[in-house]
Amino acid sequence: MIDCVTLWITNFFADSRYDVEASLEACQQEFDALMRQDTDLIIISNEIGMGLHAPNEAGRKFTDLHGWINQYIAARANRVIFMISGIPLIVK
């Protein structure tokens, strides 16, 4: 179980000194390595792009990075469930 993607990608973002492209590439490589394992994964993430927007550039870059990695993970997942107030919405 990965809980949560938001915290996980924060490390990549900080290590790359807030370089979105480098962070996204590193996250994708790490995720691809996890997908090569013979196991079931449950991945929990947040949706931070639907609320208030960050007041600074680094926050806006992180929101973009977060959305892109969520899309990357969801595209490769067998099932995607979006939870709102405890109500599951089946995406795929």
Cβ–Cβ under 8 Å, residues 22 and 11: no
> What averages of pLDDT result for each successive group of 10 residues across the chain (92 residues)?
93 95 97 94 93 90 96 97 95 96
Which pLDDT value is given to residue 43?
A: 96
Torsion angles phi and psi, residue 29, rounded to 5: -65, -45
Radius of gyration of the chain (CA): 13
Which pLDDT value is given to residue 51?
A: 83
Does the pTM surpass 0.85? The reply is yes
- 44 exposure class (CB count in 10 Å sphere: 0-12, 13-18, 19+): exposed
Cβ–Cβ under 8 Å, residues 83 and 89: yes
Which pLDDT value is given to residue 75?
A: 97
Map out the domains of the chain with their CATH numbers.
Answer: 2-90 (3.40.50.300)
Which pLDDT value is given to residue 92?
A: 95
Which pLDDT value is given to residue 53?
A: 85
CA distance 29 to 35: 10
Residue 4 in tokens: 């949560």
Which pLDDT value is given to residue 72?
A: 97
Cβ–Cβ under 8 Å, residues 82 and 88: yes
